Structure 1
Amino acid sequence: MYDTRFAVPGDLSAVLALLVRLQADSAHHIGYLGETLGELTEELAEFEPDWPSCTVVATDDSGRVCGVLSVEVDTEPARAWLHGPFVDVPVNHPAGSRIWDQTADALYRAAAPLLDGTADRELFGHTSHQRLAAFAERHGFAKGKPSSVFVLDGDGLRALLLREAGCPRTGPAREMRVLPTDAAVHEAVAVLHERCFPRTYLSGAKLVDGSTERTVVVAMDGQRVLGYAAGKQQAEEYYVDFVAVEPDLRGQGVGAALVTELVWKLAAAHGARPQAAASILAGNESSERMFHRLGFRLHVELVAYRSQVA
């Protein structure tokens, strides 16, 4: 059994090495953390106020970090997201399942102070990660609908960056704009976001207030908001978080134009990245067709588990 404690700044290199090691072996079914040290460092850096205060680690007798669990809390909707637990157990170890289970449970207990007062909790993982599924069930997390991560790289990404992103026109002049400061536009985007992505990890208010450092591109028809796409640059990719279009305009190419414009804006502002990625709910056939038309391919399927603690 490993010992558990809160992380300290000096654990950073060991935690990154652990995550890289686990993700490199597909048998661990880690999912989608980021492909490089730069991306993993960026992910940890997003925790507030600093990653050690939001992270617990498990160590063996020699002090080597063998497990990690980070907790991200958003006080506005009173929700918490668990990143992990990640446990370094050899895939074919005869007692691997029991060691993984005991370590994961110990990390969750150690993280209890971070979760105090936050009843709504969520964790993500690979759809094939059976140990994580069992962990979720033990701790009262219900399985949600899977989501699919699509990626675009190489010639496909170059072609996307070179194409014309102009919004299709069927009436008054339409245009693509980075989220303007107009309060009415902010409200329209926030309302559309909440309608299309209820109970997601980012509220409509936070999407438009600039606090998350996302780029938001809006399709406008005069003063009417037709849709938006939101995303951010990461160490090794442009990441598309959300794409939403008003129901009466879907299927007209507005979503594809928004994605194209967003990726172009991210590239222009932050320089080259080797790939773009996007996550959508599995089974959303219209979104899947759109990303396939843009050249994206399915990379991995993830699933969310959610708990409402009494």
Structure 2
Amino acid sequence: MYDIRPAAHADLDAVTALILRLQADDAHHIGYLGETLGDVAEELAEFEPDWPSCTVVATDDSGRVCGALSVEVDAELRRAFLHGPFVDVPVNHPAGSRIWDQTADALYAAALPLFGDVADRELLGHTGHRRLAAFAERHGFSAARPCGIHTLAGDGLRNLLLREASCPRTGPAREMRVLPTDPAVHEAVRVLHDRCFPRTHLSGRTLVDGRKGYTVVVAMDGDRVLGYASGKADPGEYYVDFVAVEPDVRGNGVGAALVTELVWKLAERAGARPQAAAAILAGNRSSQRLFERLGFRLHLELVAYRVGRAA
């Protein structure tokens, strides 16, 4: 059994190396720390409010870091997100599964004070991470629909960046704009986001107020918002997080134009990245078709586990 203690700033390099190693294996892959391995160090370094204050680690007898679990609490949503548990066990160890289970449970127990009074908790892992699925079941988490991570790289990404991203002109003065400061546009995007993604990790208000650093591209028809796409430029990829289009204009190419414009804006602002990525819920055929037409292909499947969700 490993020893469990609060993390310290000096643990950053060891935790980063641990997660890099484990994320490379589907059987140990856990989401929320970036889908590209190169993202992990920056995600940890910028973890809010302060990475060591919301992280616990497991160490062996020599003091080597063998496990980690971080907790992110969103006070506005009254939800908490688990980044982990990440546990390293010796290869082919006869008691490997028991060591993983005991360490993961101990990390979670040590992290409980970090949740405060927030009972709504969520974690995300690869569908092939059987130990994480068992951990979730032990602690009362229920599985949601799997989510596919679709990626685009190489010539496909270059072709996307060279596409004409103008919005189809089937109405007056349609245009693509980075989220303007107009309060009416902010409100329209907020309402559309909360209507299309009512149970997601990010509220519409947080999306438009800029606190999380998202780039938001809006399709306009005069003063009317037709849809939006939002995302970030991570160290290893352009990440398309949300795309929403008003029902009466779907199927007219607005979504594809938004995605194209967003990736172009991310590239313009942040420079080159080796790939673009997007998360799509299993069964959302319209979104799958949209990204497939743009050249995205399924890279991996993740599943969310959640407990304590309010009725």
TM-score band, normalised by shorter chain: over 0.9
The answer (yes or no) to whether the contact 1:101–1:135 under 8 Å persists in 2 is yes
* Residues 240 and 287 (structure 1), Cα distance of their counterparts in 2 relative to 1, 3 Å cut: same
TM-score normalised by the chain length of structure 2:
0.96
* Residues 208 and 30 (structure 1), Cα distance of their counterparts in 2 relative to 1, 3 Å cut: closer
1:221 and 2:218 correspond = no
CA distance in 2, matches of 1:252, 1:50: 44
Match of 1:260 in 2: 260
1:57 and 2:70 correspond = no
- Paired letter, 2:34: L
Match of 2:177 in 1: 177
The 5 A counterparts of 1:73-152 are: 73-152=73-152
The answer (yes or no) to whether the contact 1:28–1:91 under 8 Å persists in 2 is no
Identity score, percent: 76
What is the SS of the residue equivalent to 1:211? coil
1:35 and 2:36 correspond = yes
Aligned length: 309
Runs of 4+ in 1 over 6 A off after TM superposition: none
CA distance in 2, matches of 1:303, 1:268: 32
CA distance in 2, matches of 1:198, 1:156: 32
CA distance in 2, matches of 1:230, 1:78: 22
Shift of 1:23: 2.0
The answer (yes or no) to whether the contact 1:27–1:91 under 8 Å persists in 2 is no
CA distance in 1, matches of 2:90, 2:194: 42
CA distance in 2, matches of 1:212, 1:152: 24
1:281 and 2:281 correspond = yes
Aligned-residue RMSD, C-alpha: 1.4
Shift of 1:46: 3.6
What is the SS of the residue equivalent to 1:145? strand
- Paired letter, 1:12: L
CA distance in 2, matches of 1:309, 1:264: 37
What is the SS of the residue equivalent to 2:34? coil
What is the SS of the residue equivalent to 2:145? coil
CA distance in 1, matches of 2:137, 2:235: 34
CA distance in 2, matches of 1:34, 1:228: 23
Task: Give unpaired runs (5+ residues) of structure 1.
Answer: none
* Residues 243 and 156 (structure 1), Cα distance of their counterparts in 2 relative to 1, 3 Å cut: same
Match of 2:10 in 1: 10
CA distance in 1, matches of 2:109, 2:65: 17
Task: Give unpaired runs (5+ residues) of structure 2.
Answer: none
